[in-house]
Amino acid sequence: MQALPGFRDFLPEDCARRNYVFARWREVARRYGLVEWEGPPLEATELYKKKSGVEIVEQLFNFTDKGEREVALRPELTPTLARVVAAHEREFKKPLKWFSIGQFFRYEKQQRGRLREHFQLNCDIIGEKDLAADIELVALCVDILRAFGFTEKDFVVRISDREFWTDFFRDRKVPAERWDDLLQAIDKSAREPREKTAEKLGDLADPVFATLKSGGKSAKLEQLAEGLRTRGLADFVAIDVGIVRGLAYYTGIVFEAFDRAGKFRAIAGGGRYDNLVSQLSDGTLSMPALGFAMGDVVLGELINEIPRPREAMQKSIANDSKIDVYVVIAKEQRRPDALAQIQQLRDRGYRIDYPLTPTKVARQFQTAEDLGARVVLLYGDEWPQVKIKNMESGEQELISRDDLLTSVESIVR
Amino acid sequence: MQALPGFRDFLPEDCARRNYVFARWREVARRYGLVEWEGPPLEATELYKKKSGVEIVEQLFNFTDKGEREVALRPELTPTLARVVAAHEREFKKPLKWFSIGQFFRYEKQQRGRLREHFQLNCDIIGEKDLAADIELVALCVDILRAFGFTEKDFVVRISDREFWTDFFRDRKVPAERWDDLLQAIDKSAREPREKTAEKLGDLADPVFATLKSGGKSAKLEQLAEGLRTRGLADFVAIDVGIVRGLAYYTGIVFEAFDRAGKFRAIAGGGRYDNLVSQLSDGTLSMPALGFAMGDVVLGELINEIPRPREAMQKSIANDSKIDVYVVIAKEQRRPDALAQIQQLRDRGYRIDYPLTPTKVARQFQTAEDLGARVVLLYGDEWPQVKIKNMESGEQELISRDDLLTSVESIVR
């Protein structure tokens, strides 16, 4: 038996890498004053059908539950956030600055290496319409990637504005009901043959291609870039109106982070969705909002690709996986004495391991090394003295059992 | 719109409590040298139908996916663990000592307050048949609860042994095919009317009731208790052969942790499942194994019930939620200068907040207090000097912008 297609088992090493990513995500989000929340992994299918757009809905991992409810394993967090905010916003000061780390799902035709689940960080600011919130959020996205050791040579956040295009359409008297399809066509233009995009754009093909080529500009995008320049982050961002984002609910600034080499799909993406809370609360509550998501899969590939982030991860994981103390039981008669002291050390928070059953001393020392123990304590003929060995310096001495805690502390803390 | 019945939204306060529990779980499991892993939330239904027993299967949150696979949101972790170990055991030294924290699901008739999801810690030792592993695991269970601030007055781990009962049946020449039903009857005996249990037990009713009343004993259980006494944990455990556990795959020592007041369901439970790896690998691999699980729901109720653990949690959460620095922007002209320094401080790992838009100074100070800021930096007429206020002592002084990092560090670190 094996895992279902598209689902991962996280063996200890995989789990350590996952936790490393989670820890960086959490740490930097909190530097920005964001607080953590979480929604359920299963939601009513309707929550996504309403607003997420055709790509999400086509790949929904949905089913009918035993109570005849139409439900879906969540493909994304934003609709849950809008639902929760609509229900609870009165309990919080505005703006809300929230982040969340969780697992998300999709069901699509099985392809090699395409997963049906991944983990995602979501960061959102709710209740602030000012561009200052957009700047803060893009800066957070940049700083999260920097925290992994990526530099401006490794990635760029491409910033854009859906209003640039809706203004563009309005100027050309394009009926509003065509806008969504046109935005989708522009979103796909970099990944599709020019002819296909041209067909979708119709009479707008020439001016759109010309704009994409020359590079669009707007006062708002300039102001966004200036805000990032003030923070010293100018080298990490670029205005690119070719970015539109696939999700249907975006209304203003949108952005995506890419590796500079162009080898991978987007590392992160997000934008403003000022109407979603209103739409999900049937218009009873209006709240500007914006956010972005960063997945663990592309990020993980990029960390493995670039030496500095990869080595930072390896070093962090190696350090974090070490135990503090390995207890060598050289004489089985001393096992109860050793166990009593193991308990005392664990009570003080130390990470301790020892052989559960009688084992040759040399093999115990080998295990101590394999586990990265900083201290070895040996219980044998010397009792009631204990041999203590500093595994880094190699120094060892005999100590009284009563001095054990102090001696261990002097090496480990 | 709201969450599906039985599913929780974790608003920031709920999420902080959840993370507090996760952090204690993780910390103590690692003191015991356990390493973290994780499985997928969705598995083939067959994985549970095979071995988990009738209660799990009746409440499976299962469905048919779009690829016509019979799948289930996982009700428990042990079958996944046995599946993963069967596939990967050669990659690891024995015994494996693994823990995992994840979400689990069941679908049962809707009742008030009965959830359809919960989080669970799972701790397992694979590949060690010696009773030393059972002792280690029970000690871990005790120490996790102690880490929340519970004492021997608050909880007890009741230890038992299925072999006590299978020996009992064998002595009385009970056919092996009846054993499972009899174990289920004994498991439910404390929660069901005596008559109902008697009916299920048939001719064994009298000797079973007599044994439950007088208290069963065995050399193995005595040895287990002695191992815990050696560690100073005797007051936290009690032999109670009435504990059998509902899951079908247990083979030896089983145990459950309860609140002493008897107000709640079991806080944790587990035991030996020496045959499961073999059964899930179709007999190609035999591996003794044991583990326990602790859920977040009963534990959370018990933390709220008892003052010491509750206060420890509140204190930890309050400390952890504090920001380091709040930046007051007293003059809007200073906003760019403030933002440049905010970026520098965040780059050094500090948690910083500031008003995204122009705000009255008094209100900014109020927000600083609400967020638990340890330092307030004020950017105003004094620029290029910055006013720094130690929020605990109330002291404030003017510092040069160049001394900012040092001054903040002297207060926060």
Supply the pLDDT for residue B112.
66
Q: What is the pLDDT of residues B277-287, one digit of tens each?
A: 998 888 889 99
Supply the pLDDT for residue A113.
65
A336 touches chain B (CB under 8 A): yes
Q: Do A27 and B61 touch (CB under 8 A)?
A: no
User: Do B258 and B357 belong together in one domain?
Assistant: no
CA distance A142 to A370: 37
Q: Do B87 and A2 touch (CB under 8 A)?
A: yes
pLDDT-derived band at B247 (thresholds 50, 70, 90) equals confident
User: Do B307 and B354 belong together in one domain?
Assistant: no
Supply the pLDDT for residue B1.
80
Among candidates B12, B30, B128 on the partner chain, residue whose Cβ is nearest the Cβ of A351: B30
Supply the pLDDT for residue B190.
86
CA distance B293 to B138: 11
A88 touches chain B (CB under 8 A): yes
User: Do B332 and B292 belong together in one domain?
Assistant: no
Q: Do A143 and B61 touch (CB under 8 A)?
A: no
Residue numbers in A near B29 (CB within 8 A): none
In a domain, A5, yes or no: no
User: Do B259 and B408 belong together in one domain?
Assistant: no
Among candidates A63, A69, A353 on the partner chain, residue whose Cβ is nearest the Cβ of B65: A63
Q: What CATH number has the domain bearing residue B38?
A: 3.30.930.10
In a domain, A6, yes or no: no
In a domain, B402, yes or no: yes
Q: What is the pLDDT of residues B66-119, one digit of tens each?
A: 999 999 999 999 999 999 999 999 999 999 999 999 999 999 876 666 799 999
Supply the pLDDT for residue B113.
65
User: Do A210 and A334 belong together in one domain?
Assistant: no
Dmax (CA) of chain A: 93
In a domain, A4, yes or no: no
User: Do B139 and B195 belong together in one domain?
Assistant: yes
* Nearest-CA distance B209 → chain A (Å): 36
Q: Do B37 and A15 touch (CB under 8 A)?
A: yes
Residue numbers in B near A1 (CB within 8 A): 44, 46-47, 83, 86, 280
Range of the domain at A342: 323-412
Mutate to test the interface with A, among B24, B38, B94 (most CBs of A within 10 A): B38
User: Do A44 and A164 belong together in one domain?
Assistant: yes
Question: Could you give the angle at which helices A219-230 and B335-347 cross, rounded to 10 degrees?
Answer: 60
B352 touches chain A (CB under 8 A): yes
In a domain, B23, yes or no: yes
User: Do A161 and A96 belong together in one domain?
Assistant: yes
pLDDT above 70 (res B23)? yes
Which value, in Å, is the radius of gyration of the alpha carbons in chain B?
Answer: 27
Which of A270, A298, A316 is a domain's end point? Answer: A316
Q: Do B130 and A356 touch (CB under 8 A)?
A: yes
Which of A298, A316, A334 is a domain's end point? Answer: A316
Supply the pLDDT for residue A103.
98
Q: Which range (A400-404, B125-129, B243-247) has the least confidence? A: B243-247
Supply the pLDDT for residue A110.
65
* Nearest-CA distance B93 → chain A (Å): 10
How many cross-chain Cβ pairs, A to B, lie less than 8 Å apart?
212
pLDDT above 80 (res B50)? no
Mean of the pLDDT values across residues B314-331? 97
Which of B315, B348, B364 is a domain's end point? Answer: B315
Mutate to test the interface with A, among B68, B356, B366 (most CBs of A within 10 A): B356
User: Do A214 and A340 belong together in one domain?
Assistant: no
Supply the pLDDT for residue A190.
86
Model-level pTM? 0.96
B346 touches chain A (CB under 8 A): yes
- By CA distance, what is B80's nearest residue in A? A3
* Nearest-CA distance B171 → chain A (Å): 31
Mean of the pLDDT values across residues B372-391? 97
* Nearest-CA distance B234 → chain A (Å): 12
The fraction of chain B above a pLDDT of 90, given in percent, is 88
Q: Do B33 and A349 touch (CB under 8 A)?
A: no
B257, two tokens: 């942790």
In a domain, B7, yes or no: no
User: Do B299 and B403 belong together in one domain?
Assistant: no
pLDDT-derived band at B246 (thresholds 50, 70, 90) equals confident
Q: What CATH number has the domain bearing residue B374?
A: 3.40.50.800
Q: What is the pLDDT of residues B29-49, one digit of tens each?
A: 999 999 999 999 999 999 998
- By CA distance, what is A139's nearest residue in B? B343
pLDDT above 70 (res B297)? yes
Mean pLDDT for all residues in chain B: 95
Nearest to A375 by CA among A360, A363, A386, A359: A386
Residue numbers in A near B16 (CB within 8 A): 35-36
Q: How many domains does chain B have?
A: 2
Q: Do A12 and B321 touch (CB under 8 A)?
A: no
User: Do A93 and A157 belong together in one domain?
Assistant: yes
B230 touches chain A (CB under 8 A): yes
In a domain, B239, yes or no: yes
In three-state form (DSSP H/G/I as H, E/B as E, the rest C), the secondary structure along chain A is: CCCCCCCCCECHHHHHHHHHHHHHHHHHHHHCCCEECECCCEEECHHHHHHCCHHHHHCCEEEECCCCCEEEECCCCHHHHHHHHHHHHHHCCCCEEEEEEEEEECCCCCCCCCCCEEEEEEEEEECCCCHHHHHHHHHHHHHHHHHCCCCCCCEEEEEEEHHHHHHHHHHCCCCHHHHHHHHHHHHHCCCCCHHHHHHHHHHHHHHHHHHHHHCCCCHHHHHHHHHHHHCCCHHHEEECCCCCCCCCCCCCEEEEEEECCCCCCCCEEEEECCCHHHHHCCCCCCCCEEEEEEEHHHHHHHHHHCHHHHHHHHHHHHHHHCCCEEEEECCHHHHHHHHHHHHHHHHCCCCEECCCCCCCHHHHHHHHHHCCCCEEEEECCCCCEEEEEECCCCCEEEEEHHHHHHHHHHHHC
A108 touches chain B (CB under 8 A): no
User: Do B76 and B157 belong together in one domain?
Assistant: yes
In a domain, A1, yes or no: no
A residues 115..174 contacting B (CB < 8 A): 117, 125, 128, 130, 132-133, 136, 139, 143, 146
Which residues of chain A carry a pLDDT beneath 70?
Answer: 52-53, 110-113
